[in-house]
Structure 1
């Protein structure tokens, strides 16, 4: 399907599936919930607006106020996030802008030392996937740059702003990507139809997500910590019947501030204090699901 063709009213990527009609899903060692933590580590271009905490300057070029506020994440916030996660034995699955490899190699070095995983997240967070004239070339360039920068070819993908064209999934599959987190419509993995190869959707969240909580809803770090715990408690209860996936979606320029990170730490303490919880990475979840239940 070309970018120039008329937009279909229905997609054909997967059939409807009611979770109550599925056979029970079982995680390794009887875990009720597979929890994966996704730090979004990003690079922003200086000549255009992006995520903003103050609206008054966001259309200025340059917007020093909001640009430097975002820049706090890679200079300070990510290091606090790493310390909190390491304290509780949690490995990140990083949604990584390829430009991070070039501009902030120190972060890649530290992430590799912690055993973190890297999945594709576009070239930078100022470039969305929808509307790219040479999207296939862009996808391949991102995958190649992350492989060169981290030492490992990414197998997962989260588009900037979860943006896709009608061709994105096919292009990702052709580039060797095996799971995608753009579709926030489930609590279990499910296979997606692509032209070649295979593709798995892993649960991601726009609700258990610091961007939505802090910037869209204006809530506090304490409220976000409570949301994480409440979400976990509900999934833990449901997971006794059939396994669930919980995604905790983070941005170091948000949760990396001390007044927020302390509540993130309390939430991780709550989660990791429970038995039958699998603190997993994206690759681990995708591999287990594919091996046990198949990708098609």
Structure 2
């Protein structure tokens, strides 16, 4: 028997109250920057599956490890150049392993979202009490390191349990990114919780993994913005750009990220912001469930 989806209701985008962004912007744009830690003895995101089950897997682990060692610093320069504050999807283990990245983000006032402990372990297979303990540890670790409790959540691999949103609400979080099914925020059937758009389509990991070239990536970013702006005649839209430093931070892709960010930053109808600010504005201006 099929389980009913009790987390959120069906709501066609054509039948909602209009959203107005600050400054009469048409499209709210944020960069979701995945800052992750991977375990050396666990299979995870791989560029070549042939060695993925080996311990150690030098090929794939090294590819991922390029991100915190090199890629993130190249991406950081591009974000700085175009005045973009990242919305950082942060594995809490990063706090222990890469403190220099935390320091750089604090200097730039990045928004910090909880992204589980490590992207080598999916957020699943726990009892409610076990999950509460894990989420509490993740949130408290990030809060202590950044001086700010995270407001948003995205699970490793966009994973949740049926209890996750309610447990996050207990911890004071207000939104999740895992349900990539909309171009606008919307309320969940969990008091105080909303969904904010994220993307597995406009995502460097998926795009470049399918053979997309740098110029094609820039064109895709432009096409996404142009269509969302056209859609926003009566109500604002959200555009998420999902980035991974071990992918977009590769040297031969750097200039294409720069071109994409330059394009977005130059659009007169864009609100270049963070997922935190999108969620806060939506919660403050739209009717919410209580």
What's the CA shift for 1:269? 1.1
The TM-score, its normalising length taken from structure 1, stands at 0.94
- Contact 1:102 1:149 survives alignment (8 Å): no
Q: Do residues 153 (structure 1) and 149 (structure 2) align?
A: yes
Aligned-partner Cα distance in 1 for 2:265–2:167: 37
Out of 150, 164, 186, the position equivalent to 2:182 is 186
Of 224-233 and 69-78, more deviation after overlay is shown by: 224-233
1:178-207: CA deviation from partner (whole Å, max 9, x where unpaired) = 01000001000001012xx41010000000
Task: Specify the alignment match of 2:260 in structure 1.
Answer: 267
Task: Specify the alignment match of 1:137 in structure 2.
Answer: 133
Secondary structure in structure 1 of the residue aligned to 2:112: strand
Aligned-partner Cα distance in 2 for 1:28–1:249: 23
Secondary structure in structure 2 of the residue aligned to 1:98: coil
The TM-score, its normalising length taken from structure 2, stands at 0.96
Q: Do residues 233 (structure 1) and 229 (structure 2) align?
A: no
Task: Specify the alignment match of 1:164 in structure 2.
Answer: 160
1:12-31: CA deviation from partner (whole Å, max 9, x where unpaired) = 12211111111221111100
1:78-110: CA deviation from partner (whole Å, max 9, x where unpaired) = 011111011111100100000000100000000
Q: Do residues 69 (structure 1) and 63 (structure 2) align?
A: yes
Tell me which stretches of 4 or more aligned residues in structure 1 moved more than 6 Å: none
Aligned-partner Cα distance in 2 for 1:37–1:104: 21
1:116-156: CA deviation from partner (whole Å, max 9, x where unpaired) = 11000000111111213411110000000001111111010
Aligned-partner Cα distance in 1 for 2:271–2:287: 20
- Contact 1:41 1:97 survives alignment (8 Å): yes
Aligned-partner Cα distance in 1 for 2:85–2:282: 19
Task: Specify the alignment match of 1:23 in structure 2.
Answer: 17
Task: Specify the alignment match of 1:49 in structure 2.
Answer: 43
Secondary structure in structure 2 of the residue aligned to 1:254: helix
Out of 270, 276, 286, the position equivalent to 2:269 is 276
Unpaired runs of 5+ residues, structure 2, are none
- Contact 1:129 1:168 survives alignment (8 Å): no
Task: Specify the alignment match of 2:98 in structure 1.
Answer: 104
1:203-228: CA deviation from partner (whole Å, max 9, x where unpaired) = 0000000111122x222222222211
Secondary structure in structure 1 of the residue aligned to 2:241: strand
Aligned pairs for 1:216-231 within 5 A: 217-231=210-224
- Contact 1:222 1:260 survives alignment (8 Å): no
Aligned-partner Cα distance in 2 for 1:86–1:24: 32
RMSD (Å), alpha carbons: 1.2
Aligned-partner Cα distance in 1 for 2:266–2:32: 20
Task: Specify the alignment match of 1:114 in structure 2.
Answer: 108
